Structure 1
Amino acid sequence: MSIPPPHGPPQEPQGQHPAPQGRPPAPRGQAPYPPPQFTYGGQPGLAPYGLYGPYGPRPPAVVNGVAVAALVFGVLCLVPAVGLVLGLVALRQIKRRGERGRGMAIAGTALSSLGLALWVAALASGVLADVWEGVKDGARGDSVLALAKGECFDSPGGLEGWTADARRVSCAREHDGEVFAVVRLPGDRYPGDDALTDTADERCHDLRDAYVMDGWALPATVGVYYLVPSRESWRFGDREIVCVFGDQDPRKTLTGSLRRDGTTLDAHQLAYLEAEAVLDAALDESPGSEYPEDDLPGHTEWAAKVADALAEEVRMLRAHEWPAGAERAVGDLAAGLEEAEGAWAKAAGADDADTYIEHADAGWEVTDPYVSVTARHALGLASTPPEYEEGAERDTGDGGMKV
């Protein structure tokens, strides 16, 4: 009876080992050939999984640096446009170089896009303007952003160039500048440096006389300066031009307030200056040609305006009830101005240049500033006519500053 062989692969005869395929059998009495080995790092052994290829070990891919920067800008959301651009650049580099960081690039792009959309919405809704007002309210310390009409200040860099600091001081002590007007600008688009400067020059000079109604009280050495928004502050809602008085010599300072308006003058002083302003406005409209021979119609038309202004000033002076100490002086002034009105009216009707000059000269004699010295002194106003230095122009701006 035969015993069936056991289940499983055929058994080799005891004491024998199958020779590896392609190799001769090992000699009798010797150990069989060892299993094949690989070398790694110059030492025998098995190569680690995933680090071995046909050309040796393969290092891991590097992380794209632009992707990291895109993610940082996207999270901070300070300059969303930069983060968006960096994210797009990173995605392109990763695809071309086979680098890592695609997820960071996508996240940075998405966050920057969201931030950019929020900025656009904030600008459209005026939120940034409200933020800017909050910044100004919180900057009541040493900042030009919160300067108000009537305040005096010192600026570390003077009144020309760029500045962001302004230390408020009492106007009674030495100071660099005094704010006499604040102009609010319309629109959302930045008008540009030149346009801002032109606007500031025009508006500040127009508002000067409203702050200093008594022009005789304004020293000839005082010039008009202005603080205008920079392109950066405009983005946050800064729309104000700050008009400032300062000495034309940057090495000198001012002492005492120059303000002469309804907040510092009494009713009689205001009445007198308002009447005087009527004539001053007419005199400022002098014709472009200096000589009447060159433009007689222009000069006669101007003379008619001066005559009308004199008549109005006389009416205003006689309509007001003056204090006892100034009543006679103001009455004498009104009489002299009435005489001047007649001379200017004759100049307005002149048919030739010689006749015009004759009557205009007579009118100038009784409208000379010195005829009002007595009345001014009686009312407590500045009684010394302004004397301008040679080449100095009180209505010339001296410079501007950017915030």
Structure 2
Amino acid sequence: MSIPPPPGAPQPPEGPYQHYGPPYRTWGQGYSPYTRPSPVNGVAIAALVLGLLCFVPAAGLVLGVIALAQIRRKGQSGKGMAIAGAVLSSVGLALWVVTLATGAASGIWRDVKDGTRGNASFSLVEGECFDVPGDSLEGLTYDVDRVSCEGGHDGEVFGAVTMSGGSAFPGDDAVTEAADEKCTPLEEKYVRDSWALDGVDVYYFGPTRQSWRWGDREIACIFGNTDDRETLTGSLRVDETSLDADQLAFLDAMDAVDAVLWEEPEEYPEDDLRANQDWARDVHGVLGEQTGALRGHTWRTGAEQPVAALVKEMEAARKDWAKAADARDSNTFYTSSANGYGYVDGPTTVTARRALGLATTPPSDEDYGSGGDNLNV
């Protein structure tokens, strides 16, 4: 017998029991009862960074497109960054294409390389002219401005050499010695006529202790004015490309004689007469060879007589050198060799040079030959 429920009481369930759900709503994994911001797409961030830096613009453009696809599929944020990165990369890519097409990339890369390596020679090449920020080619400098050789300029590069060595800097003296040894042959090749270097001295850019650590091994051989207050004007290059056959024949003969004259012994005749006699015989021999070469050449109109007059003086000097070679004492040697030197760089030589269109001002000890001034950078 069942007892009816009191009035107003809830009705019992129709089944044997009733399942009651949890009193609060549950949230599935990955959801929250509170609103959370969607994560930023990492690829979009990378695209923006590459677009701003422009190191590899193509990569920034590709990453921007990938980021947009991921953002659309995953519902992430960062769409603005992806678009900005793609646009900036597109602009950078266009600039790179223009730079490569116009050939400007090589200059940019050279400047970047010089800046990172601390290159003392600034990658200057033979034939280039430049200005330095300071008032002198001596001392330290950290930059140069390449300019045309036609106008005024501080220096002209006539060659470059590379030093060998390990990681340890060999020292300033070693750099100076290498420059003096290796720049001289390049100087003689670049300027065949030493008389053309009136008022010109030799300088160089060489590595410093700091730039050596960056791999700098280059020495730039440079012409500059002997007067710090003056500049050079026009290129000093006088080589086979700018000289005619007559000029080359004349310079070949004069250079051969000068080379032997420069071999004068360090010992005085009174200390070593035999060595000086041997040298005098060499001078006598080379004068015979070169006067024969000058006489055998066919000269242009207007140059025959001036060259013939010079050859006559050289033959007279040759006789004096023969006497010096046979001198029995130092006094006789001094007298004969002094007479033999008489024609060198004299008025007859100047006249012959003028007729051939060559420089007519002999180089002095003050203006030429005192080079080797170090300009470390």
TM-score normalized by the length of structure 1:
0.60
Give the secondary-structure state (helix, strand or coil) at the position aligned to 1:366: coil
1:212, 1:259 within 8 Å by CA — same for their partners in 2?
Answer: yes
Task: Give the RMSD, CA atoms, in angstroms.
Answer: 2.6
State the shift of 1:206 in Å: 4.2
In the alignment, structure 1 residue 267 sits paired with structure 2 residue 254: no
Query: Offset at 1:152?
Result: 0.8
Counterpart of 1:373 in structure 2 is 350
Distance of 1:138 and 1:279 partners within structure 2:
47
Aligned to 1:304: 281
1:93-126 CA-to-partner distances (Å, cap 9, x unmatched) read: xxxxxxxxxxxxxxxxxxxxxxxxxxxxxxxxxx
Question: Does the CA contact (< 8 Å) of 1:370 and 1:385 recur in 2?
Answer: no
Q: Does 1:383 align with 2:360?
A: yes
1:154–1:272 Cα change, 3 Å: same
The equivalences for 1:316-395 within 5 A come to 316-387=293-364, 392=366, 394-395=368-369
> Partner of 2:375 in structure 1?
401
Corresponding residue number in structure 1 for 2:50? none
Counterpart pick for 1:180 among 153, 158, 161 = 158
Amino acid at match of 1:399: D
The AA in structure 2 aligned to 1:217 is A
How far apart, in 2, do the equivalents of 1:327 and 1:241 lie? 43
Moved more, 174-183 or 312-321: 312-321
* Inter-partner Cα distance in structure 2 for 1:357 and 1:251: 41
**Superposed displacement of residue 275, structure 1:** 1.0
Q: SS of the residue aligned with 1:262?
A: coil
Residue number among 134, 145, 153 corresponding to 1:167 in the alignment: 145
> What amino acid does structure 2 have at the position aligned with 1:258?
L
Contact 1:205–1:395 (CA under 8 A) maintained in structure 2:
no
**Matched residue, 1:50:** none
Higher-Rg structure is: 1
Percent identical pairs in the alignment equals 49
1:222 to 2:194 alignment: no
The alignment status of 1:283 with 2:261, answered yes or no, reads: yes
Q: Within 2, Cα distance between the matches of 1:364 and 1:354?
A: 16
Residues 366 and 191 (structure 1), Cα distance of their counterparts in 2 relative to 1, 3 Å cut: same
List per-residue Cα deviations over 1:151-191 (Å, max 9, x = no partner). 11001134122323211111121111111121122344442
- In the other structure, the counterpart of 1:127 is none
Q: 1:269 deviation in Å?
A: 0.9
Q: In the comparison of the two structures, how many residue pairs are matched?
A: 265
Q: State which of 186, 195, 204 in structure 1 corresponds to 2:174.
A: 195
Name the structure 1 match of 2:23.
none
CA distance change for structure 1 residues 366 and 401 in 2, over 3 Å: closer, same or farther? closer
Corresponding residue SS for 1:277? helix
1:152 pairs, out of 125, 129, 151, with 129
Where does residue 139 of structure 1 map in the other structure?
110
Residue 397 of structure 1: SS of its match in structure 2?
coil
- In 2, the alpha carbon distance for the partners of 1:250 and 1:362 equals 38
Letter of the structure 2 residue corresponding to residue 356 of structure 1: F
Higher relative contact order (CA 8 A, sep 6+): 2
For the residues of structure 1 that align with 2:331 and 2:162, how far apart are their CA atoms? 49
Between the aligned partners of 2:154 and 2:107, the Cα distance in structure 1 is 21
Unaligned segments of structure 2, at least 5 residues? 1-104, 115-120
Instruction: Name the CA distance, whole Å, in 1 between partners of 2:112 and 2:147.
Output: 11
Q: Cα offset for 1:247? A: 1.9
Q: Is the 8 A contact 1:185 1:241 kept in 2?
A: yes
Q: Is the 8 A contact 1:137 1:146 kept in 2?
A: no
